[in-house]
Chain A
């Protein structure tokens, strides 16, 4: 019994493994895959072109995309096509990251957000406005009115992809 108490006593002076969440947070790994974000270009245009390749790649059928046509008066993304509807059902998502791999414009990225809770199934569906990141400084919100002939390419030129 005494030997047992010694163990207990010793562990009183050990550094605790638990942290005081949510006041304290542990950094996540660099390649951690959390909730998705839809990225924007510096000028505020959405990177997503509504190609639905993420939905095709998704093994759990969590993504739903509907596309529509851009005009220069009402432009959401470069090129002709943008996502008019973009929804991810987070209850279905298995965080495999295939959507990120499939994306031709690097628009969808699994970020580090892991704090998600839902009270019903419907609120687990994240819509486009919930997934889109904020407009960067100096950028304009979408839809934008743009110069004709400026944004003709849907898929940007990817220079030396690093990952």
Chain B
């Protein structure tokens, strides 16, 4: 155990671990030492000087080292001539701190007066006004009047866009450097920095495009003044006017806890609208951070392209119809198809929706299929994370293996958590054919050729060197795998191999140890737990079925084979938010509701069951997915269990083993979290939300034996002829899929180039970055812009998913440059 130190603050005694800073020790006692530049998640800087306190240490006899005693036998305390900063001074044995003496209060007052000499005091128009630590502290400790003239204030530029997402107000900045330190220490994106010094100090962005970081929004949260604001919330509303609605981000499998701030708007015809997204503290999931995708994509719910009325096919056209007619038609078809109905869904739905659809599948005898680009959820249910798990506890002695994924692009907060674990001393093994942002923090970095995933895993397992040792001796062992360059069957085989390895090393079922899949959608793990499986031959299944019922999935825009199969399908019911490529082929389209318009539960990749509540009312004419499923079933004469989400959740916990005994009350329960830095803490005001809506519950592991992939998986050998390349699908954060493009905010950050080539290949085919190239697959061609990337293997062209390229597994392609061939011919 760490050495404990006892000290006195304001006459009260406290015992804390050695190395604790005075501010944190005081916070344990409930004593307020104000801070600006200090933040418990960042390294101390000592820049603002507002935390000055009087520190005394026991005097030691120089000769003997024994404490010098006063006449009454108490140790003699010597105070320094100057005050010390509580945020940089660690505690020491016998220390005496005075945090509220006249001298200290005077110093605080003067520091605040000094900070305000270059602050514009435009609180009435400032977005931070009302939740501003500078406002709070000035009210509590500051002077009533300044001795400086207003005209002598330094006037700086008011509106400085640091990129299109974050806007800086140089005048309001108090140079605490929290944003600069966050970018440098927490997310390793040092794209902003200080320029000049003294009073001329200013924050600048050093990247192109400006503030090029996927975590940039967090700097607006931790900014203790209104200097950094997000472009979409600028002058949007005063903080006290908004209500907090707790929710979960469903953009990726991390399941970040968020709070939607909502209010009614006259310019939106009196509707309640979301004004901003703030992180909600959950130290076991996202701490107090969220990525920009989670922060800015919510705008999709107000897109004018949303479906608000059911559509039915009349000849070649889809025309608006009534709910009654649409449901009646869909029910007729469902009834007629009986067991020959294929139900295709995705991880975008809540557990309740998925459970309702599963019931329908069980009653009719039809197939319930999870559509996605990655498989292996069964192995994760059997050997995933178990109750009591927290990536934040992994440190020295633990091992994390990251296999075939780019966490920075696919699940940014996991990237952050894994990076931090590595920095705490955990052994990080990164195995990927191309370089990723995680390599820098890896203890071991290994590469393999696309297609050789299983061989690579065999080699890893047989390793007797450092890697074998690290896995064998790890206190906690976490395997994270993705679907980089793999189709469904390959990723399932990888998952099974990893699960077996985990069991062999005796870590299956151990808290904070287990298998994590980097899913593409928020609740794919939930679908697996409920009993859905993926289908490698989805096109064949669809062709064989009499009809297809698609909920929240868009297979037609991802795979040309599927598109053809769907076109041939007998009938097709689609429920979605938008008129997707799949919905355009449908016979009936039913408008569903977005995640912020309804309640539900979702299971994150770490198998944490979390609850989200409705933030805004749903548009008229839409219905939640489970209600549509129920209505169709009822019309077809099938009675499904569970009338509303709460009822469905109860039915789910009754019938599915891993959910047994879990109540919503448990899921929504909260505990005190450390460090405490919510809005109610005066000097962290406005920086993040306390979690009052539940921390979630990690599901217990499913009992059962692990499967071995050897039985059903045969890797497909892909041979490359000269002049051909291997096209490999990869996932990028800002793609054209689902909700990013329709949200508007991140338009400029969406990946421009569809393809990526190694410089040697680029030279071979004589293409330059930014040029358009064309890939010929068996029967079709895909065209797009190309980028050059030295970090990827040769002979491979990386193809970004969800960009319209329709590629679900690696294939051999021929590359041509259309412009040039046009010129030549």
A→B interface (CB under 8 Å): 49-53, 55-56, 64, 66-69, 79-81, 84-85, 87, 104-105, 152-155, 157
Q: In the assembled complex, which residues on chain A have CB atoms less than 8 Å from the CB atom of B140?
A: none
Residue of B nearest to A68 (CB): B235
Instruction: Please provide the 9 A-B residue pairs with the shortest distance between their CB atoms, ordered closest to farther.
Output: A51-B124, A81-B125, A85-B266, A67-B235, A154-B125, A104-B124, A52-B238, A81-B235, A154-B122
From B150, B155, B159, B237, give the contact of A80 (CB < 8 A). Answer: B159
Closest CB-CB distance, B230 to chain A, in whole Å? 13
- Min CB gap A10→B, angstroms: 59
CB-defined contacts of A104 to chain B, threshold 8 Å? 124
One digit per residue, 1 when the CB lies within 8 angstroms of any chain A CB and 0 when it does not, for chain B 232-273 equals 001111101100000000000000000000000111000000
Known: A67-B237, A152-B158. 13 other contacts (CB 8 A): A50-B235, A51-B125, A51-B129, A51-B238, A52-B241, A66-B267, A67-B235, A69-B235, A80-B125, A80-B159, A85-B267, A104-B124, A155-B125
Q: Which A residue sits closest to B124, measured CB to CB?
A: A51
Tell me the nearest residue of chain A to B122, going by C-beta: A154
Number of residues of chain B lying within 8 A (CB) of chain A: 19
A-B contact pairs, 10 of them (CB 8 A): A49-B125, A50-B235, A51-B238, A66-B237, A66-B265, A66-B266, A80-B125, A87-B266, A105-B124, A155-B122
Does B158 contact A80, Cβ atoms closer than 8 Å? yes
Let me know if A56 and B240 touch, CB within 8 A. Answer: yes
A6 to chain B, nearest CB (A): 64
From residue A78, how far is it (CB to closest CB) to chain B in Å?
10
Query: CA–CA, A155 to B123, complex, Å?
Result: 9
* B240 cross-chain contacts in A, Cβ below 8 A: 56
Residues of A within 8 A of B234 (CB): 69
Complex CA gap A104/B121 in Å reads 11
Minimal beta-carbon separation of A54 from chain B (angstroms):
10
| B235 near A79: Cβ-Cβ < 8 Å | no
CB distance from A138 to the nearest CB of B (A): 27
Set B235, B241, B265: member contacting A55, Cβ < 8 A: B241
Candidates A66, A68, A79, A84; contact of B122 at CB < 8 Å: A79
Contacts of B150 in A (CB 8 A): 157
Q: How far is B267's CA from A85's CA once the two chains are assembled, in angstroms?
A: 8
Would you call B125 and A50 a contact (CB within 8 A)? Answer: yes
Residues on the A chain within 8 Å of B121, using CB: 155
Contacts of B124 in A (CB 8 A): 49, 51, 53, 104-105, 154-155
Considering the complex, give the chain B residue whose CB is closest to the CB of A55: B241
With beta carbons under 8 angstroms apart, the residue of A56, A87, A105 that contacts B238 is A56
Chain A: minimal CB distance from B240 (Å): 6
How far is A154 from B171 in the complex, measured between Cα atoms in Å?
Answer: 13
Closest to B150 in A: A157
* CA A19 to CA B129, docked complex, whole Å: 50
User: What is the chain A residue whose CB lies nearest that of B157?
Assistant: A152
A142 to chain B, nearest CB (A): 17
A152 CA to B122 CA in the complex, in Å? 11
The interface bits of chain B over 461-477 (1 if a CB of A lies within 8 angstroms of the residue's CB, else 0) are: 00000000000000000
When A and B form their complex, what is the total count of cross-chain residue pairs whose Cβ atoms lie within 8 Å?
A: 53
State A51–B226 Cα separation when bound (angstroms).
Answer: 14
Chain B residues with CB below 8 A from A81, complex form: 125, 235
Closest chain B residue, CB of each to CB of A104: B124
Which of A51, A53, A68, A157 gathers the greatest number of chain B CB atoms within 10 Å?
Answer: A51
**A79 and B267 contact, CB distance less than 8 A:** no
Chain B residues with CB under 8 Å of A153's CB are 122
Bound Cα distance A87, B159 (Å): 28
Cα separation A5 to B67 with both chains bound (whole Å): 106
Residues of A near B235 (CB, < 8 A) are 50, 67-69, 80-81
How far apart are the CA atoms of A155 and B120 in the complex, in Å?
Answer: 10
Q: In the complex, which residue of chain A has the Cβ closest to the Cβ of B265?
A: A66
CB proximity of B442 to chain A, nearest CB, Å: 44
- Cβ–Cβ contact B125 & A84, under 8 A: no
- List residues of chain B with CB within 8 A of the CB of A105: 124
Q: Which residues of B contact A152 (CB under 8 A)?
A: 155, 158
| CA of A51 to CA of B239, assembled, Å | 11
**Residues from chain B with Cβ under 8 Å of A64 in the complex:** 266
- In the bound complex, CA of A80 to CA of B125 (Å): 8
Most chain A Cβ neighbours within 10 Å, of B125, B235, B265: B125
Instruction: A81 to B159: give the CA distance in the assembly, Å.
Output: 12
The distance from the CB of A52 to the nearest CB of chain B, in whole angstroms, is 5
Docked Cα-Cα span, A85 to B270, in Å, equals 12
> Which chain B positions have C-beta within 8 A of A69?
234-235
Which residues from chain B contact A80 at a C-beta distance below 8 Å? 125, 158-159, 235
- Give Cα A157–Cα B153 distance, bound, in whole angstroms: 13
The complex places the Cα of A152 from the Cα of B156 at a distance, in Å, of 10
- Nearest neighbor of A125 in chain B, beta-carbon distance: B266
Contacts of B155 in A (CB 8 A): 152
User: Which chain A residues border B159 with CB–CB below 8 Å?
Assistant: 80
**Distance, CA A116 to CA B122, complexed state (A):** 35
Within 8 A of A (CB), among B142-171: 150, 155, 158-159
Whole-angstrom CA separation of A69 from B161 in the bound complex:
14
How distant is B629 from chain A, measured CB to nearest CB, in Å? Answer: 39
A119 to B76, CA, bound (A): 81
CB distance from A112 to the nearest CB of B (A): 27
Among A53, A56, A84, A154, the residue within 8 A (CB) of B267 is A84
- Whether B125 pairs with A79 at a CB distance below 8 angstroms is yes
| A126, B155: Cα distance in complex, Å | 38
Query: B236: nearest residue on chain A (CB-CB)?
Result: A67
- The minimal Cβ–Cβ distance linking B590 to chain A, given in whole angstroms, is 34
**How far apart are A80's CB and chain B's nearest CB, in angstroms?**
6
Q: Which residue of B lies closest to A105 (CB)?
A: B124
CB distance from B675 to the nearest CB of A (A): 31
A3 to B: closest C-beta gap in Å: 65
- Complex interface: chain A residues within 8 A of B265 (CB): 66
For B121, give the chain A residue with the smallest CB separation.
A155
List B contacts of A51 (CB < 8 A): 124-125, 129, 238
Complex alpha-carbon distance, A67 and B234, angstroms: 9
A69 to B234, CA, bound (A): 8
Q: Report the separation of the CA atoms of residues A52 and B126 in the bound assembly, to the nearest whole angstrom.
A: 11
Question: Smallest distance from the beta carbon of A162 to chain B beta carbons, Å?
Answer: 19
The CA of A64 and the CA of B268, in the complex, are separated in Å by: 14
- Give A53's nearest chain B residue, CB to CB: B124
**B residues less than 8 Å from A66 (CB atoms):** 237, 265-267
Residue of B nearest to A81 (CB): B125
Chain A's closest residue to B266 (CB) is: A85
Contact with A along B107-130 (1 / 0, CB 8 A): 000000000000001101100010
A84 contacts which chain B residues (CB < 8 A)? Answer: 267
Please name the residue on chain B nearest to A152 by beta carbon: B158
Complex interface: chain A residues within 8 A of B241 (CB): 52, 55-56
CA distance A56 to B266 in the complex (A): 17
Which chain B residue has the least Cβ–Cβ distance from A85?
B266
Residues of A within 8 A of B125 (CB): 49-51, 67, 79-81, 154-155
Chain A min CB distance to B156 (Å): 10
Interface code B157-195, partner A: CB below 8 Å = 1, 0 otherwise? 011000000000000000000000000000000000000
Q: How far is the CB of A74 from chain B (nearest CB, A)?
A: 14
- B residues near A154, Cβ cutoff 8 Å: 122, 124-125
**Which residues of the other chain, B, contact A49 by a CB distance below 8 angstroms?**
124-125
Complex Cα–Cα for A53 and B135 (A): 15
Q: Which B residues, 552 to 570, have Cβ-Cβ distances below 8 Å to chain A? A: none
B155, B235, B238, B240 pick with most chain A CB within 10 angstroms:
B235
Cα–Cα distance between A139 and B32 once the two chains are bound (Å): 52
User: How many Å from the CB of A51 to the closest CB on chain B?
Assistant: 4
Contacting residues of chain B (688-706) with chain A, CB-CB under 8 angstroms:
none
**Min CB–CB distance B234 → chain A (angstroms):** 6
Give chain B residues whose Cβ lies under 8 Å from the Cβ of A50. 125, 235
Count chain A CB atoms within 10 A of each CB in B124, B240, B241, B266 and give the residue with the most: B124
